[in-house]
């Protein structure tokens, strides 16, 4: 058996070759899930070096419709939350990040997609560490430059988990969880910025009548929750202002698809020998 065959045999469950986990979630209570499958078909056309390094974590947030999961030439982990909890974006994102196999993660709603160059940039980028990034956008109709979306992040999985992920006390009603997530990270020293301006994402045009959801956007319930959390942070500091409610539901793994690698990792024979340099640099940064 040659080296590539051995590599593939070893990696049927081993995910150390994954350099970026792409987490997205959906709730479809209309006709179909084409909004999801069309996005994955687009990524299926990308070059091998991107498809080998990216894992797609898809979270179905309790959709009430039936569907079949198609086969894709991608690394996919497809999860479904059993309970149909309204506006459970916080829980869906927490679940997706929990299953991520890379510390570099990008979290996005379905209404954005990433060009090859942007995914490749994130694959090769250094670990974000305490930084978390928004990504500039192109308008789908005009191509004009736009600011990044407020809930699309490139960040470290470890940093996400260190501050307890999204607060699921917001789940069940619309709004405020993204705003509080960002504020909470900033309060604890995380630094928010942008990826370079030439690294963009693209807004998608979705069929919001057949492959989306029909939930109402009403901030009435979550606005007082958010105000209370702000007051807790202001008054008590430290790690107050977050309920610690996390994965407050059950779920199942619907599909795991593993893409066979076409290339071997690049050998780095000096990496182990330079451990002392990494140790010294980490000591200086404390």
The rounded average pLDDT for each run of 10 residues, N- to C-terminus, in the chain (286 residues) is 54 81 95 95 96 97 95 97 96 98 97 96 97 92 85 98 98 96 97 96 85 86 97 95 98 94 80 87 70
- The 10 Å CB-count burial string (b at 16+, else e) for 140-177 is eeeeeeeebbebbbbbbbebbeebbbbbbbbbebbbbb
167 phi, psi to nearest 5 deg: -85, 110
Looking at CATH, the fold of the domain delimited by 18-260 is given as Spore Coat Polysaccharide Biosynthesis Protein SpsA; Chain A (3.90.550)
Angle, helices 177-187/89-99, rounded to nearest 10 degrees: 50
Is the pTM higher than 0.85? The answer reads yes
Residues 65-107 pLDDT 10s:
999 999 999 999 999 999 999 999 999 999 999 999 999 999 9
Cα–Cα separations (whole angstroms), residue 203 to 85, 128, 194? 26, 24, 17
Cβ neighbours for 9, distance < 8 A, ≥ 6 positions apart: 1
- Enumerate the domain spans of the chain: 18-260
Contact 113, 201 (CB under 8 A): yes
How many Å apart are CA 66 and CA 162, to the nearest integer?
36
């Amino acid at each position: 058996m040659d080296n590539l065959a051995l590599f593939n045999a070893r990696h049927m469950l081993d995910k150390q070759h994954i350099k970026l986990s792409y987490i997205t979630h959906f709730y479809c209570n209309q006709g179909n899930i084409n909004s999801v499958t069309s996005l994955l078909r687009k990524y299926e056309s990308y070059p091998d070096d991107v498809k080998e390094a990216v894992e797609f974590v898809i979270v179905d947030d309790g959709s009430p419709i039936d569907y079949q999961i198609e086969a894709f030439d991608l690394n996919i982990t497809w999860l479904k939350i059993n309970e149909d909890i309204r506006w459970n974006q916080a829980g869906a994102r927490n679940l997706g990040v929990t299953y991520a196999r890379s510390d570099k993660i990008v979290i996005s709603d379905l209404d954005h997609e990433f060009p090859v160059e942007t995914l490749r940039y994130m694959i090769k980028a250094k670990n974000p560490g305490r930084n978390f990034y928004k990504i500039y956008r192109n308008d789908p109709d005009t191509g004009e430059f736009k600011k990044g979306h407020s809930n699309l992040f490139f960040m470290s999985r470890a940093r996400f988990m260190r501050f307890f992920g999204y607060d699921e006390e917001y789940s069940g009603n619309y709004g405020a969880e993204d705003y509080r997530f960002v504020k909470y990270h900033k309060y604890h020293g995380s630094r928010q910025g942008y990826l370079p301006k030439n690294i963009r994402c693209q807004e998608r045009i979705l069929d919001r009548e057949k492959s989306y959801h029909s939930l109402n956007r009403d901030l009435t319930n979550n606005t007082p929750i958010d105000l209370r959390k702000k007051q807790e942070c202001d008054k008590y500091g430290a790690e107050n202002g977050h309920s610690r409610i996390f994965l407050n539901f059950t779920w199942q793994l619907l599909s795991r698809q593993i893409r066979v690698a076409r290339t071997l990792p690049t050998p780095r024979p000096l990496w182990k020998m330079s451990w002392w340099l990494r140790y010294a640099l980490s000591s200086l940064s404390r």
